Amino acid sequence: MCSHTQSFSGREREESELRRCVGSSAVVLALFAALVPGVSAQAATEHRAGPLPLGRLFDNTAVSDDARPGEANFDGSGASLSAQDLSAAGWTPGRTLTVQGARLTWPKRHPGRPDNVRAHGQHVRVRGHGDALAFLVAGTGGVGVSGTGTVFYADGARTAYTLTAPDWRTGPLATKAVGLPHINTPGGQLTEQARLYVMTVPILAGRAVASVQLPHAGALHVFALAVRAHSPGWTGSWATATGGYPTVGPWTDRTLRLVVHTSVGGPRVRLRFDNTFAAAPVRIGSATVAVQRAGAAARGTPVRVSFRGAAGVRIPAGAQAYSDPLGFQVPADANLLVSFHLPGTVPAAPVHRLAQQRSYVSGPGDHTADRSSSAYPTVLTSWPLLTGVDVGGGPGSVVLLGDSITDGDKSTMDGNRRWPNVLATRLLKQSVVPRYGVLNQGISGNRVVSDRYPGDGVSSDTAGVSALQRFDRDVLAQTSARTVVVFEGVNDVRWGTTAEQVIAGLREITARGHARGLRMLGATLLPCEGETRCTAAVDAERVKVNQWIRSGAAGFDGVLDFDAVVRDPARPSRILPAYDSGDHLHPSNAGLAALAESVDLRGLVP
């Protein structure tokens, strides 16, 4: 063995010896490939050359033109994605799409040309600071495929990660980034849905990523990857979760004026629109923001926002769009009017159904700049497309993941009496802890472990995919999330899910939050005796979940004992009549306020 002065250990030392001592590159590659089991000569070449841009490593062709399906072979059997379907979804070559807050570029390749990497340990050049790595992936093994890779940082640190790619033909629809209606084969096109996924993995906070080594998993295909950037200088003030994709309108050449209530304020604003669950792009022609005077009337002239310098934006299927930062004084604890013009026809849209707030739809035309309410004759009680309002500055946000009780069911329409609103007002009126933004991610009817909305297609069910399936989108990708309150499970046990299944789901959610550095708080489930489905057997399951939450076995950083706050001491299986809305399941305004008032604000601090 040649002598050396550097200090290495294990495989690194052996690799260094080989590179320094052997003059022939061919011999080096052969020895390196032999030294590391499972590493091909190609991977050895890539390791020796250092990290390369992903596009230079493409070794598989996934996309074919419908007229020439034989030019691609994504899965080894000759099947491939349709270029025409991708284009119809807005996923055109070279297009940068934002999904789960990450900006990923669809490969700029013609159909029939290599456009993805089969993961076998390639060393990929990736730069940036952020909170996660985002991968645009799909598996082709018939089932999901996983593997472990390494993130390398500019300061020499490294961390391992596990990446899972659901299968492109059998993976869950609830978590797909986009679904395509056909699969191309040499024998003809199949009417079978193909799926692509965006998966994120945690990285070290505050460290600059320099490169990524992909897993060794040949059926795991990577089309793009990027560091999901932090949102420095932004705090989430208002947010809502998409619960489904129902028919709407249809709206053609209409302006929607949505009323949303802020938690914290700030000197700048940006808006977020999500085309979640969609099969086709949606076009926003223009958008404005204003403070509400009353109804659809603005206090002043609405101010236009832009999207990467343009007046409007076309949002691909499954993607999202952020407006450019706008100097606009957003008041805290106040109603905003967010208006956006839909110049085309929109027959279905991603929607949060239970707004408990009246918004408005105009007659024909772009009325985003209208100050008066005269152009808005139609009332809307849902929030389509708009999912977030961020403000400049602030300490970050608390995310509340829940069901109809968090969503505000049975609270006063237009009254902002949901328990998240009351919590936000408490935070604003004190100075003991930071004045966090409060993001309400409750969906009426939502469950922890099973989907109500199937995650694809037009449906009248807007109770959402499960908390497990939506956690990445509705919690991890939220602006400036610091602390999470998980308050779900009563719908699960009401519909036959066992306490053990709910507990397993909550345990997984807690672990995933902790992996991203979030403070995780668990709330106990409220009693519901008297509601049709809340039988004695259901209450027994609810009690088991609550016992587990209180025990500390859940791994929560704190417990909000909401059950103890609103239950009737004389009959613990029901809500105290003074806090009952009348349906025995949802608290009244007084009950919701009691929940919010019971929160120890110091427990929200990470």
Q: How far apart are CA 152 and CA 207, in angstroms?
A: 10
Give yes or no: residues 44 and 65 share one domain. Answer: no
Task: Provide the pLDDT for residue 568.
Answer: 98
For residue 55, give both structure tokens: 């596009």
Task: Provide the pLDDT for residue 48.
Answer: 57
CATH number at residue 485: 3.40.50.1110
Q: For the chain, what is the largest distance between any 2 Cα atoms, rounded to a whole number of angstroms?
A: 86
Task: Provide the pLDDT for residue 230.
Answer: 86
Long-range contacts: 40-44, Cβ < 8 Å, 24+?
Answer: 40/120, 42/120, 43/120, 43/121, 43/122
Q: Which helix (H) or strand (E) holds 572?
A: strand 571-575
Task: Provide the pLDDT for residue 1.
Answer: 33
Give yes or no: residues 212 and 131 share one domain. Answer: yes
Name the CA radius of gyration of the chain, rounded.
26
DSSP β-bridge partners for residue 314: 283
Give yes or no: residues 252 and 330 share one domain. Answer: yes
Residue 278 lies in a domain: yes
Give which of 531, 528, 532 is closest to 540, Cα–Cα.
528
Residue 522 lies in a domain: yes
Task: Provide the pLDDT for residue 5.
Answer: 32
77: containing domain = 54-228
Q: Phi/psi at 226 (nearest 5 deg)?
A: -160, 155
The pTM score is 0.91
Q: How far apart are CA 523 and CA 485, in angstroms?
A: 7
Q: Which helix (H) or strand (E) holds 201?
A: strand 194-202
Tokens 């008032």 sit on residue: 597
Give yes or no: residues 422 and 465 share one domain. Answer: yes
Q: How far apart are CA 507 and CA 97, in angstroms?
A: 32
SS3 state of residue 47 = helix
Give yes or no: residues 380 and 446 share one domain. Answer: no
Residue 152 lies in a domain: yes
Instruction: Assign 3-class secondary structure to 362-429.
Output: CCCCCCCCCCCCCCCCEEECCEECEEEEEEECCCCEEEEEECHHHHCCCCCCCCCCCHHHHHHHHHHC
Give yes or no: residues 167 and 22 share one domain. Answer: no
Exposed / middle / buried, residue 292 (Cβ in 10 Å: 0-12, 13-18, 19+): middle
Residue 128 lies in a domain: yes
SS3 state of residue 180 = strand
> Where does 15-131 show beta strands of DSSP type E?
63-64, 81-82, 96-99, 102-105, 117-120, 123-128
C-alpha triplet 568, 572, 576: angle, nearest 5°? 20
Q: Classify the C-alpha dihedral 296-299-303-307 as positive or negative.
A: negative
The domain tally of the chain equals 4
Residue 239 lies in a domain: no
Give yes or no: residues 279 and 361 share one domain. Answer: yes
Among 341, 360, 388, residue at a domain's last position: 388
Q: How far apart are CA 99 and CA 487, in angstroms?
A: 26
Give yes or no: residues 164 and 291 share one domain. Answer: no
Among 388, 411, 427, residue at a domain's last position: 388
Report the C-alpha dihedral over residues 539, 541, 546, 548, rounded to 10 degrees.
160
Q: How many residues does the chain have?
A: 606
SS3 content of the chain, % helix, strand, coil (to 5): 20, 35, 45
Give yes or no: residues 259 and 324 share one domain. Answer: yes
| Residues with pLDDT less than 50, the chain | 1-41, 43-47
Kindly give, in sequence order, each residue whose CB lies less than 8 Å from that of residue 13, ignoring residues fewer than 6 positions away: none
Residue 4 lies in a domain: no
Give yes or no: residues 26 and 60 share one domain. Answer: no
Residue 120 lies in a domain: yes
Give yes or no: residues 576 and 454 share one domain. Answer: yes
DSSP β-bridge partners for residue 245: none
Give yes or no: residues 81 and 191 share one domain. Answer: yes
Q: How far apart are CA 168 and CA 214, in angstroms?
A: 19
Residue 504 lies in a domain: yes
Percent of the chain at pLDDT > 70 equals 92
Among 339, 355, 388, residue at a domain's last position: 388
DSSP string of 502-526, one letter each residue: HHHHHHHHHHHHHHTT-EEEEEPPP
